[in-house]
A and B are shown apart, each in its own frame.
Chain A
């Protein structure tokens, strides 16, 4: 990777942003702790009548949903934390340092994207695992399937980072990158609105627009459903969000490479 992976790690270590992740994790631990206390109260009231199995199922589902929210927050943090990284590479006086090398731009960009995804993804995973270990300690049992939830969210981070990366290349600023991600997130709400409109007036064109937008925009909440289902061991009803979101990410990265190769720096 021509030192890019190692450099991304060194860079992360030097950034204060790590503390933000630590802070988020501490908050999550507090929530888990509070949840556990509430759960104890609940169990006392129920007198443990319904048996351990049901209670465990309930806890597993609460945990999966809780972790899903925690992961979403972490991904949001990671997206913010990484939004400036690509634009920083392209600043005048710095872009030359990266670009005037015997490396193709495609390889350079993809190495950087992959490094960021890997390292910030690992950071997210580390936060998740700390929270998982903590809850396992409190509850006295560990739900191994929750790792699936982590995996899906790691992929979700790649999807959002691909948008951030494209935004960073297009606008050469962190705020531009965040703006694009925000637009995409807003666009995600449109199919729901159109579904509602479709109930009022049944037009083909509305249905069409809805479908196009649906497939053009990654479906994070759909992926969240897949993640939770995997975490609690229920059958996944709709894999589509995972596939098409991944495809969108790949397409975004291809466009990013295309833009990167064409620009003057």
Chain B
């Protein structure tokens, strides 16, 4: 079952300024499967936060549909078994970390027994047991984020939405949070991760969507997004052999004595290239698809993204 599903989800903010309306989400259609880590990438102002807020019922939908747990966000039932860490959280300052978790659990309808049994392991998980009895108003940014992850998990949710969870966390803390996310995933929970940190998403997301100016420009597994379509690198003893590839097959991107990169019209054509090399009795050592870094892919997706019309 798809735990999150949107269809042509559109959100337009009406502003009083002359600039006119802001199209924060423009016909976004996506689905998130149970148990996967879904990374939503996009530059600042792309609409990532807006998307999560509409899914959480915080922001109304202008047009299109959204379903969380099979229910529209207007229905409080859609937020049953859902955890949420907002962007730049500011938790009630009169609470300690521990009291925050208790209150968060109660707001989500968790029984006090369940809350009490989950408190300690959660505090340990996010590395906050030392600070549990300190007021959240005294927390540093990173500590706030950590307790924020814990409060999102107190209800033992099926899905957690995390909006920039490592924002303000130091490099070691980032690794720790990544470890937390992996643990959550290993428990079979779904993670919806908003981020502009490509490496973070690349390391843990099963699937990635790229949002740019409110439009979904790419969706796929990390592999799918990082593979250069139909480009292959062939490691072979080419030496100074002159190899010409007919136009209907593809073209040579680069060549050295030891390797050659080709861009093909269709993937099957790789066999024709191999045939050609073998015909010349050239030893082939490896053939592999060319990978682009997620960063390159992201950059391409975002720059070729549609122009904003507002």
Given known contacts A2-B106, A264-B60, A265-B58, is B80 in contact with A102 (CB within 8 Å)?
A: yes
Given known contacts A96-B84, A104-B76, A265-B59, is B103 in contact with A7 (CB within 8 Å)?
A: yes
Contact across chains for B107 and A3 when beta carbons are under 8 A apart: yes
Closest A residue to B95 by CB, please name it. A10
Contact across chains for B94 and A10 when beta carbons are under 8 A apart: yes
Contact across chains for B79 and A102 when beta carbons are under 8 A apart: yes
A114 at the interface (CB under 8 A from B): no
User: Which of B56, B76, B94 contacts A96, CB < 8 Å?
Assistant: B56
User: A13–B77 Cα gap in the complex (Å)?
Assistant: 33
Given known contacts A11-B92, A101-B79, is B58 in contact with A95 (CB within 8 Å)?
A: yes
Q: How many residues of A contact B (CB 8 A)?
A: 26
User: A94–B78 Cα gap in the complex (Å)?
Assistant: 20
Q: Mark A1-37, 1 if CB is under 8 A from B, else 0.
A: 0111011001100110000000000000000000000
Given known contacts A10-B99, A100-B57, A264-B58, is B89 in contact with A93 (CB within 8 Å)?
A: yes
Contact across chains for B57 and A99 when beta carbons are under 8 A apart: yes
Instruction: List the B side residues contacting A96 at CB < 8 Å.
Output: 53, 56, 58, 84, 86, 89
Give 9 pairs: A residue, B residue, CB < 8 Å, sorted on A: A4-B107, A10-B94, A93-B89, A97-B91, A100-B79, A101-B76, A103-B76, A264-B58, A265-B53
Given known contacts A10-B95, A11-B94, A265-B58, is B88 in contact with A93 (CB within 8 Å)?
A: yes
Q: Mark A239-261, 1 if CB is under 8 A from B, else 0.
A: 00000000000000000000000
Q: A12 → chain B, closest Cβ, in Å?
A: 9
Given known contacts A10-B99, A100-B79, A102-B77, is B108 in contact with A93 (CB within 8 Å)?
A: no
User: Which of B53, B86, B109 contacts A102, CB < 8 Å?
Assistant: B109
Closest B residue to A265 by CB, please name it. B58
Q: A173 → chain B, closest Cβ, in Å?
A: 16
Instruction: List the A side residues contacting B59 at CB < 8 Å.
Output: 264-265
Given A7-B92, A264-B59, A265-B53, 14 other A-B residues pairs in contact with their CB atoms under 8 A: A2-B106, A3-B106, A10-B99, A11-B92, A92-B88, A94-B89, A96-B89, A97-B91, A97-B104, A101-B108, A102-B78, A102-B108, A264-B58, A264-B60
Instruction: List the B side residues contacting A101 at CB < 8 Å.
Output: 76, 79, 107-109
Which residues of chain B from 28 to 55 have a CB within 8 Å of any chain A CB? 53
Closest A residue to B60 by CB, please name it. A264
Q: Mark A125-161, 1 if CB is under 8 A from B, else 0.
A: 0000000000000000000000000000000000000
Contact across chains for A97 and B79 when beta carbons are under 8 A apart: no
User: A14–B92 Cα gap in the complex (Å)?
Assistant: 11
User: A101–B207 Cα gap in the complex (Å)?
Assistant: 26
Contact across chains for B56 and A97 when beta carbons are under 8 A apart: no
Instruction: List the A side residues contacting B78 at CB < 8 Å.
Output: 102
Instruction: List the B side residues contacting A2 at CB < 8 Å.
Output: 106-107, 109
Q: How many residues of B contact A (CB 8 A)?
A: 33
Contact across chains for A97 and B86 when beta carbons are under 8 A apart: yes
B200 at the interface (CB under 8 A from A): no
Closest A residue to B80 by CB, please name it. A102
Contact across chains for A100 and B84 when beta carbons are under 8 A apart: yes
Q: B144 → chain A, closest Cβ, in Å?
A: 10
A185 at the interface (CB under 8 A from B): no
B82 at the interface (CB under 8 A from A): yes
Instruction: List the B side residues contacting A10 at CB < 8 Å.
Output: 94-95, 99
Contact across chains for B102 and A93 when beta carbons are under 8 A apart: no
Instruction: List the A side residues contacting B84 at CB < 8 Å.
Output: 96, 100
User: A264–B57 Cα gap in the complex (Å)?
Assistant: 9
Closest B residue to A88 by CB, please name it. B92
User: A265–B52 Cα gap in the complex (Å)?
Assistant: 12
B90 at the interface (CB under 8 A from A): yes
A98 at the interface (CB under 8 A from B): yes
User: A10–B98 Cα gap in the complex (Å)?
Assistant: 13
B235 at the interface (CB under 8 A from A): no
A41 at the interface (CB under 8 A from B): no
B87 at the interface (CB under 8 A from A): yes
User: A100–B57 Cα gap in the complex (Å)?
Assistant: 7
User: Which of A4, A97, A264 contacts B89, CB < 8 Å?
Assistant: A97
A48 at the interface (CB under 8 A from B): no
User: A15–B94 Cα gap in the complex (Å)?
Assistant: 8
A56 at the interface (CB under 8 A from B): no
A40 at the interface (CB under 8 A from B): no
